Structure 1
């Protein structure tokens, strides 16, 4: 449970961020004016804040890989805040999607009052799924962080004595002093 808690939180943050990013770059709607070429509206045009939200959630997920339990809880709270910002932005943009489509059609044809046929895609739903997954991941990280194991690099290990001259040098001793000088003297004779 301990190692899996961190892994689940990190992967869910990364996958949620990837889904949001995919939803922010895919085509949301296609407008087909009568006497003009069709216009595709992607997520960066309709909801420009989703890409930074996605990248921030991915960075938070990567930060969870090295975070202590206390820092992980702080990152989880930041994750919830970022998801809230993204959800608010997405809801506002989806609510005004009809106006955005009409503005794009008017800009494509130069006519200010224009009714054009349009089709929408499921890209906003992909961003919603990513936001829900990121929110669940942040809550999971907050709940399970106290049970995460400390990183292996924080543990101390003692080395075994090998009896070599290098070990004596590491300990600050002169390996040629004392008993070793006597042994050398007997070998020279």
Structure 2
């Protein structure tokens, strides 16, 4: 459970961030003005804050690979805050999607009053799924971080006396000097 909890948290953060990013770069709406060609509006035009939120959540997931339990819990709180920022921004943009589409289409064509039909896609739903997954990942991280396996410090053991010339040098002795009767036999 220990290793799987961390792996699950990291993967869920990365998948949530990827879903949000995918939802933020795909086409959200296609506007068809009567006298112009079709205009596609992607998520970066309609909801520009989603891409930074997605990248931040992905970075949090990568940071969890090295985080200790306390730091992982702090990162989980930051993840919940980022989901809140992304969710609030997305809700505001979806509530006024018709106005946002009209404004973006007007800016693209240069016409201030634009009477056009618009077709929306499911890209915002993909961003919502990513936000829900990122929220679940942050909650999972906060709940299970205490049980994650901690990295153990590597212990180094020193040998007492090996008789090697290098050990003699470490002890401040000259390994070429004669030491007694056995050195004279050589």
For 1:24 and 1:170, locate their aligned partners in 2 and report how far apart those are by CA, in whole Å. 65
1:78-130: CA deviations, max 9, x gaps? Answer: 10011000000000011111011112333344432222111111110111111
Q: Secondary structure at the match of 2:185?
A: helix
In structure 2, the residue matched to 1:78 is: 78
- Note the 1:140-179 alignment, pairs <5 A: 140-152=140-152, 154-158=153-157, 163=162, 165=164, 168=167, 172=171, 174=173, 176=175
TM-score of the two chains, using structure 2 as the length reference:
0.89
Q: How many residues get paired?
A: 186
Separation of aligned partners in 2, 1:167 and 1:143: 51
Distance 1:151 1:33 in 2: 60
SS at match of 1:40: strand
CA contact (8 A) 1:161 1:167 kept: no
Gaps of 5+ in 1: none
Does the aligned pair in 1 maintain the 2:161–2:167 contact within 8 Å? no
Greater helix fraction, Structure 1 or Structure 2: 1
2:184 is equivalent to residue 185 of structure 1: yes
TM-score, normalised to structure 1, is: 0.88
In 1, Cα distance between equivalents of 2:169 and 2:137: 47
Q: Gaps (5+ residues) in structure 2?
A: none
RMSD: 2.4
Q: CA deviation at 1:171?
A: 5.8
